[in-house]
Structure 1
Amino acid sequence: MKRIYLIRHCKASGQEASAELTQEGVTQAGQLADFLEDKFIDWIVCSPYQRAISTIQPLAQRLGLPIHRDNRLRERILSSEGMPDWMDKLRKSFDDLDMKLPGGESSWEAMTRGISVMEDLVQRPEMNLVVVTHGNLMSLILKHYDSSFGYEAWSRLTNPDVYELGVTGDKVMDVKRLWE
C-alpha cells in the first residue's frame, strides 16, 4: 500500500510566507525527522513557504532527498482584508464551502487545489511520500476524504501534525492521525 504522510508545519513566528520556525519549531522539526526516518520516505513535496520548507529540511537532509516545492500547497487566504471575526468566518467556511470573502479563496477552491496535488501524488511511482502544508489547507484536504472533518477537527490540529493516507490503486482508502 502506498502511504502519503500529510504534515502541518512546525511552530512558526508568523503567517507570512517568509515566517521562520520558532526555536521550539526547530526542535519539533528534528523530532519530526526522528518520527519519519524509518518510514522509507522516497519523495518529499512541500509548500513554498519558509516554515514548511524548514519543517521538512532535517528529514530531507538525513535521507538525502530533494524537497520539491509546489505552490498549490501554500496556505489558503481566507480574506485579504483584516476581520476581527475571522474565526467565525473560518468556522462558516467549513460548512459553506462556496463562501468567498473579499480577496480570499473559498474552501472549495482551496480544497480543489490541494486535492490536485494529492491526485498527482497517487499517480507517482514512489510508495512513501511526504506532503508538508498548512493547517487550513491540510484540514480541507482531510475533509475531502472524510466529510466529518470540519472546524472542530481543524481547531485540534497541532504544529506539527501528521496524518497518514493509505492509498490502494488510485484511491485514498484510509486516513489516520499519527501525531499526538
Structure 2
Amino acid sequence: MKQIYLVRHCKAAGQAPDAPLTELGVQQAERLAQFFSDKTVDLILSSPFERAVRTIQPLADKMGLDITLDARLAERVLADRDLPDWYELLRKSFDDLDFCCPGGESSRAAMKRAVAVVEDVLCRECRCAVIVSHGNLLSLLLKYFDDRIGFAEWEALTNPDVYLLTFSPGQDGPVPRRIWTE
C-alpha cells in the first residue's frame, strides 16, 4: 500500500511564483506540520513556487527531509494575460478539458503533467509521500481519479487543504479523500 497526500499551499500574498505566505499562511504551515507529525512521510515533492515550498518547509525541517522541487507541480496557467471573465472561463475548462484560453494550458494538459508526478511517485520505493501544489492543478489531479470532481470542488478548496490517495494492490485506483478539517 502507498499513500500520497495532496496538499494545497497555505494562504499567500498573491499569485506570482515568488509570492510569499501571509502571516496567517506561516501559522497555517506550522499547523500543517503538526497535522502530519504522526504520519511516516518519506518523500516530499513541491511546486517550485515560493508559497508551496514555504507551506511544506516546517514539515520537512521537522522530519529531516529534503523537498524535491518539481516544475510539473507549478500552477496551471489559464491564460497569458489577465482576463475579466477568468472565473467563467475556468468553469468552462472543467466542463471541457480541452478548452484552452490564449497562451494558457488546457485542463487535460495540466492534468496529464500532474498525473505524471503521481505515477513517478508510485514507481519509487517510498511508502508515504506529500505532494504540494496549487488549487487548480490539484483539483484537476483529483478529477483524474474521480470524475465527479469539478469546478464546485475547486471552489470549495481551502488554504491549506489536504487530500489522501491510497493505492492498494489489486485496487482499480484510489478514491480521493479530503482529510483536512480546519
TM normalised by structure 2 equals 0.97
Letter in 2 for 1:89: L
Q: How many residues align?
A: 180
Deviations 1:149-176 (A, max 9, x none): 0000000000000000001238632320
2:148 corresponding residue in structure 1: 148
2:177 corresponding residue in structure 1: 176
Deviations 1:28-47 (A, max 9, x none): 00000000111100000000
Letter in 1 for 2:14: G
2:27 corresponding residue in structure 1: 27
Give the Cα–Cα distance (whole angstroms) in 2 for the partners of residues 33 and 90 of structure 1: 31
Give the Cα–Cα distance (whole angstroms) in 1 for the partners of residues 67 and 118 of structure 2: 16
Q: CA deviation at 1:122?
A: 1.0
- Gapped regions of structure 2 (runs ≥ 5): none
Q: Secondary structure at the match of 1:174?
A: coil
Deviations 1:107-159 (A, max 9, x none): 00000010000111111111010000000000000000000000000000000
Q: Secondary structure at the match of 2:51?
A: helix
Contact 1:122 1:171 in 2 (8 A): no
2:87 corresponding residue in structure 1: 87
Give the Cα–Cα distance (whole angstroms) in 2 for the partners of residues 172 and 30 of structure 1: 31
Deviations 1:16-39 (A, max 9, x none): 000000000000000000001111
Taking the TM superposition and a 5 Å limit, the aligned residue runs for 1:68-83 are: 68-83=68-83
Give the Cα–Cα distance (whole angstroms) in 1 for the partners of residues 140 and 151 of structure 2: 10
Moved more, 169-178 or 133-142: 169-178
Letter in 2 for 1:63: M
Identity, % of aligned positions: 52
Q: Secondary structure at the match of 1:162?
A: strand
Give the Cα–Cα distance (whole angstroms) in 1 for the partners of residues 148 and 107 of structure 2: 15
Give the Cα–Cα distance (whole angstroms) in 2 for the partners of residues 135 and 99 of structure 1: 18
1:111 equivalent to 2:102? Answer no
Give the Cα–Cα distance (whole angstroms) in 2 for the partners of residues 171 and 21 of structure 1: 37
1:18 corresponding residue in structure 2: 18
1:133 corresponding residue in structure 2: 133
1:7 corresponding residue in structure 2: 7
Question: What is the root-mean-square deviation of aligned Cα atoms in Å?
Answer: 1.0
Which structure 1 residue ranges, 4+ long, deviate > 2 Å from structure 2? 169-174
Give the Cα–Cα distance (whole angstroms) in 2 for the partners of residues 112 and 4 of structure 1: 17
